[in-house]
Structure 1
Amino acid sequence: MTQTLQGGAFGSALYRALWRWHFFAGLICAPIVILLSITGALYLFKDEINDSLHRELRLVAPQSTERLAPSALVIRALDAHPGTLKGYGAPAAPDRPAEVKIVGADGLKDIVYVDPYDGRVLGSLWDGGFAGSPTMYVVRKLHSLQYAGWFAERIVEAVAGWMVLMTASGIYLWWPRGQQKGGQWGGVVTVRGTPGKRVFWRDLHAVTGVFVSIVIVFLAMTGLPWSGYWGKKFYSAAYAVGMGMPDGYWDKYPVSSVPLKDTIDHAPWIVENQPTPLSTAAAGVPAKLDDVVRTVEALGMAPGFAVVIPAKPDGVFTASVYPDDISRERVVHLDQYTGRVLFDMQLKDLGLFGRLAEWGISIHMGQAFGLANQLVLLAALVGMVGLTVSGIVMWWKRRPAGSLGAPRLPAGQPVPRGLILIAAAGGLFFPMVGISMLAFAVIEVAVYGTRALRTA
């Protein structure tokens, strides 16, 4: 920092304590923030990347002729790729193929792409689910650290909470406090110096942080509903106050023990753990796929919907779609034998928190507002990488040789009550952050002793 931290606001115990916590949180979270930013930037353009990597599979020449029936396309796919039919994806646009999901003899699920006009099999890919390809599946898993197990997912959840707190503390540390008098806005909204100077990296860090602060908080908060602990608690709270999943949807029918998230590629967050209903009968002649598709289309479901084939005698057909226009998000369950609609949920049927979460996630993934949505988030993610790198460079340039160079607490001053209140509020709202705060406090006590950390 370039301000003189002696006396006044810059030398206050609260300022120094927040600076110290901001420093350690930023340094520890830096690798995860960079990973989240890079993988998030790639995932924003998953459709464009998938089309580029697999153009011969994902695009067809539009024709004026009528499309073949879904059953005919499925037969073509099974002839080329023998196995068990698991799902059918209707073409999302005139230049898109049908997607037939098949589990082969090796037990792997693949997507077979079929030209809907002439039935020509274009090829197949391992089923990457909502990511759309194996490549983007890896990117998505890296983004959430799911490859490293539940503990790593909790780390990501903690980092998301810390991003919110670091943004708030960063704005507090940046706040002008009079240095812009006389028209001098250096370090407030402009960057001073050159890349070889420490002041340049300090200003770059502060100014970039201010400009991307709103997006940082937005991305952190819209990602948290999908987290393991915070998301479950938020779900329970939303349901308890009647703003999540409305009651009564499954009252008329028996339900299975299979949650919706294990049935379809992308389940709305607020209902992903709700059970899938069962058919009214457990035996009979299953409804034809062509009839099921016609029923779903008659409901006005958005193009590109997918139909999951029942896996058990009492299972149901499940049709779902998650389009760029999130207002057309929909999940429909149909009886396996009669083809009758058992359950039809649209975005408008969700409670307030459910609708807000779905809109937030759609924007988070760059879908809701097209290219503008993608470019704004891309700029913010590039800014987050720059913010992190500039913070590391600034620290490296200011640290004394052989020392960590962490900001020190004012000698002989107690821990401010304001910091304790901030820590308590942040820890309660973000439990994973609270746990990390307690761990940090233990380390601080061990280093400085209880006397140096007494409460004001």
Structure 2
Amino acid sequence: MPDIPADAPNPPPAPPDDGTTRHGVPRPSTWSLLRPLVLRLHFYAGLFVAPFILVAAVTGLLYVWTPQLEQAVYAHELRVPVGAEPLPLHQQIAAARAAAPDAVAHAVRPGGSPEETTRVLFDTGELAESTRLAVFVDPYTGEVRGTLDSYGSSGALPVRGWIDLLHRELHLGDAGRLYSELAASWLWLVAAGGVAMWVTRRRRRRVRGLLVPEPRARGSRRTLSFHGTIGLWAFVGLLLVSATGLTWSQYAGENVTSIRSALSWQTPAVSAEIPADSPGPVGVDVGVDRALAAARAAGLEGPVEVILPAGGDTGYTISELDRSWPTRFDSVAVDPSTGQITDTVRFADFPLMAKLARWGIDAHMGLLFGVPNQLVLTALALGLATVIALGYRMWWRRRPAARPGIAPVWRALPWHLRGAVVVVFAGLGLLMPLLGASLLLFVAGDLLLTRRGGGQAASTGVPRA
């Protein structure tokens, strides 16, 4: 470094950063630079992905009320007059086996209340994946009340199973699952972008302007006020529905499972394997009644499922089924030769993330808080449908106008914001592949429109930034 003379004048101090450029022009905030890009993506997602989100909302609304629908449609199979004393469980299973002699008994679900039937589940080898034959038995008389297909761990009967598959895949198999994954992948992003724009648009007004629409306004302003306020009220619920919906998805769901496994966030399960040092004689079975009694003595309450031993080296697995609040999801394994419990998993001992996943999924299905949960999901689905309808209305009224496309908006960003946006969306695309693929399609389509429109996205009707 060269020597500086001792009598050299000191350089003038740097002017304080007052938030303006050297010409006195206010420096734009990060949000003001990003807002046109967020608006553009919000518009494209709303225009092209909203139909998928709307279908998911409508079919989800149907699913929410399927527990009551099942009780009405299958009243004969599900309910019986209350008798004096229920038969031993092994006699009820024997009655069910007589009605399905060629099937293998897999599990039994005793009624959770005195008027409920006992459900015995069979593997037939002919039903679809995750589907078993359910035989319904009167616990007081042993009469078989009927047989129905039972789908999944929730034991969905045909009506609920049909609506479940409609919501999940539109009855189109793996190809149909792409629709629900696309909807779940974009829902949270569209909602977050919309809320950010609404809040910053109204930040200088009172809180009332954020939370309450303007019924006296006219035209687009009135539509936007309802669109924004309803979206803001629904925001937290939409995030929960989107996040939990992704856990069932085909591609993002696999990534979520991998992350949970890497971080040890999986749901623990009991081991039904009989310990090698078991003192019980080989081939001896104390019976399902004693196994259930051992589970009850260990604190398992309410409705349970008893999975029967699948072979000589496995025992009974008894699990609680109550997914309401407070959640009862304990499970035990019972040695069939001794009737002793060999393994126990308590819901209270679940890792926090496993508990949150359980609660989130149950809330998504409308089970966590019963009818109040169903009412909230109903309001959420109706609110989402309304927001989508209002969004299309705004687009229709503004459709002749041409607005700046993604390319001009992108060129207006400083390099550090471009890099941040690329990194964020690359990460999201890796976690949610359908989000990344559809985002690339939106960008490519917008660039074509911009090129044809001479720097403007031709006749898209995107709202002003």
**In which range does the TM-score fall when normalised by the shorter chain?**
0.7 to 0.9
Give unpaired runs (5+ residues) of structure 1: 1-7, 246-269
8 Å CA contact 1:114–1:122 kept in 2: the answer is yes
Identical counterparts, % of pairs: 26
Deviation of the 1:157 alpha carbon: 3.1
Distance (Å, rounded) in 2 between the aligned partners of 1:121 and 1:407 = 68
Distance (Å, rounded) in 1 between the aligned partners of 2:124 and 2:375 = 39
1:119 aligns with 2:142: yes
Deviation of the 1:446 alpha carbon: 4.5
Deviation of the 1:101 alpha carbon: 1.5
8 Å CA contact 1:308–1:318 kept in 2: the answer is yes
1:88 aligns with 2:108: yes
8 Å CA contact 2:49–2:182 kept in 1: the answer is no
Deviation of the 1:308 alpha carbon: 1.9
Aligned mate of 1:190, from 192, 213, 223: 213
8 Å CA contact 1:163–1:220 kept in 2: the answer is yes
Deviation of the 1:186 alpha carbon: 6.6
Deviation of the 1:307 alpha carbon: 1.4
Cross-structure match for 1:133: 157
Give unpaired runs (5+ residues) of structure 2: 1-27, 457-465
Cross-structure match for 2:327: 327
Cross-structure match for 2:341: 341
8 Å CA contact 2:122–2:133 kept in 1: the answer is yes
Cross-structure match for 1:436: 438
Distance (Å, rounded) in 1 between the aligned partners of 2:370 and 2:173 = 33
1:9-53 deviation digits (Å, cap 9, x = unpaired): 9x9653322111101111222222122212222222222111011
Alignment of 1:22-421 (within 5 A): 22-63=42-83, 65-84=84-103, 85-103=105-123, 109-129=132-152, 130-145=154-169, 147-175=171-199, 177=201, 189-192=212-215, 197-242=219-264, 244-245=265-266, 270-271=267-268, 277-280=272-275, 284-323=283-322, 324-325=324-325, 327-400=327-400, 408-409=405-406, 414-417=411-414, 418=417, 421=420
Deviation of the 1:412 alpha carbon: 7.9
Q: Which amino acid aligns with 1:67?
A: P
- Structure with higher RCO (Cα < 8 A, 6+ apart): 1
8 Å CA contact 1:98–1:114 kept in 2: the answer is yes
Distance 1:407 1:346, change over 3 A: farther
Distance 1:109 1:442, change over 3 A: same
Distance (Å, rounded) in 2 between the aligned partners of 1:374 and 1:156 = 20
SS in 1 for 2:122: strand
Distance 1:106 1:227, change over 3 A: closer
Distance 1:74 1:53, change over 3 A: same
1:130-184 deviation digits (Å, cap 9, x = unpaired): 1531111122222222743445435533432321111111012212546875x79
8 Å CA contact 2:165–2:171 kept in 1: the answer is yes
8 Å CA contact 1:367–1:373 kept in 2: the answer is yes
Cross-structure match for 1:263: none
Query: What is the aligned residue count?
Result: 411
Q: Which amino acid aligns with 1:138?
A: W
Distance (Å, rounded) in 1 between the aligned partners of 2:214 and 2:98 = 64
SS in 2 for 1:223: helix
1:33-91 deviation digits (Å, cap 9, x = unpaired): 1222122222222221110111122122334x221111111122223343332221111
Deviates more, 1:331-340 or 1:288-297: 331-340
Distance (Å, rounded) in 2 between the aligned partners of 1:406 and 1:452 = 9
SS in 2 for 1:307: strand
Scaled by the length of structure 2, the TM-score of the pair is 0.77
SS in 1 for 2:310: coil
1:375-429 deviation digits (Å, cap 9, x = unpaired): 12211111011111221232223212xx9x7774585871525466346325414
Scaled by the length of structure 1, the TM-score of the pair is 0.78
Cross-structure match for 1:262: none
Cross-structure match for 2:23: none
Distance 1:426 1:94, change over 3 A: farther
SS in 1 for 2:247: helix
Q: Which amino acid aligns with 1:125?
A: L
Distance 1:293 1:229, change over 3 A: same
Distance (Å, rounded) in 1 between the aligned partners of 2:307 and 2:321 = 14
Distance 1:91 1:361, change over 3 A: same
Q: What RMSD in Å do the two structures reach over aligned CA positions?
A: 3.5
